[in-house]
Amino acid sequence: MAKGDITRDEIESELEIIEFFIDEQAEEGREAYRAYYGISVAKVVEIIRMPKVTEMPNTPHPSVVGTFNLRSRVIPLIDLSLWLGKPMVRDANTKVIVTEFNTVINAFMVSGVTRIHRLNWDEVEPPRGYTAAFASHSFTGVVKFRDRIVLLLDMERILMDLNPNLAMRMDRAGGGRPTAAAGHKTLVVDDSEAIRKLIASYLEADGFTVAQDINGRNAWDRIEAVKREAAASGRPISDYLNLVVTDIEMPSMNGYALCSRIKADPALASLPVILFSSIINDRMYEKGREVGADDQVTKPEIETLAERAKKLIEPDRG
């Protein structure tokens, strides 16, 4: 293996989350309930004590409690418990998780932080069946430990709820005019319902035909079914599927593993794959290159996605 190559374990097993908790307010005479949540380490800048907060008039969402100054940067502070609809008990131990993704810095107030976990993707389950007390779109996965369940938050969904400008971009996405991309069959894979819909809106506005899957495992099952159908009919894969756009961090199978499987299969290797993530740093870019991704696009670059996709599907196009 050449220097810098990534291992199979890194492709399929690399997920680090920060586990934190919220002590929910209880009825008088009852103890507070402690609920556990997780966020990708890649999205976390630092964890700090509760800062001095300046209240904001006309906040975009009731959970935005104000702003604070951190090394000359003014950062919005979100009471995560209010966004979840589970008001928490505040005390001197309250912590703040500062995040950066989609080129936006926010901070989230929580009761406390437990630890960092490095997990195998097989340990992350889809959220169905565990989140009846919440809107299903609030979470992207569930991790079960011996004595507790940790819910992985859909941070992109939270950002879209809190950022009206991003929501407006999503609304405008459907206003495009179909182009020469009409008929390009695309599979969009992302564990965030909000992001899947956003990608689909942008691509459909440009004439793409879009199917969606919630994780790499489901997507791989769909792609294998397409491969079998193409083989049975004697037609090329491109008659059935022209492009895969996949997130990187997903339960069951991540985007690296999905891309690696596609590119390792002679019948699928020519199928273009775009990795689409809120964060693509140098190390992540190198991983994407080594698993054979044809392009890598960050979520803030979504307005370039359709054009970059067309260039992959139609390499000889003007």
Strand partners, 78: 64, 108
Asked whether 133 and 35 are in contact (CB, 8 A), the reply is: no
Top-confidence residue, 169 or 64: 64
Task: Name the CATH topology of 8-162.
Answer: OB fold (Dihydrolipoamide Acetyltransferase, E2P) (2.40.50)
- Confidence (pLDDT) at 103: 83
- Confidence (pLDDT) at 47: 98
Strand 95-101 vs strand 112-119: parallel, antiparallel, or unpaired? unpaired
Which homologous superfamily does the CATH classification assign to the domain defined by 177-313?
Response regulator (3.40.50.2300)
At residue 318 the predicted structure's pLDDT band, cuts being 50, 70 and 90, is very low
Asked whether 251 and 121 are in contact (CB, 8 A), the reply is: yes
Q: How does pLDDT run across 5-25, given as a tens digit for each residue?
A: 555 545 555 689 999 999 998
3 pLDDT more than 50: no
At residue 101 the predicted structure's pLDDT band, cuts being 50, 70 and 90, is confident
- Of all residues in the chain, the percent with pLDDT exceeding 90 is 58
Q: What angle do CA 239, 192, 176 make, to 5 degrees?
A: 55
Least confident of 57-61, 217-221, 257-261: 57-61
Entry pTM: 0.81
Residue ranges of domains in the chain: 8-162, 177-313
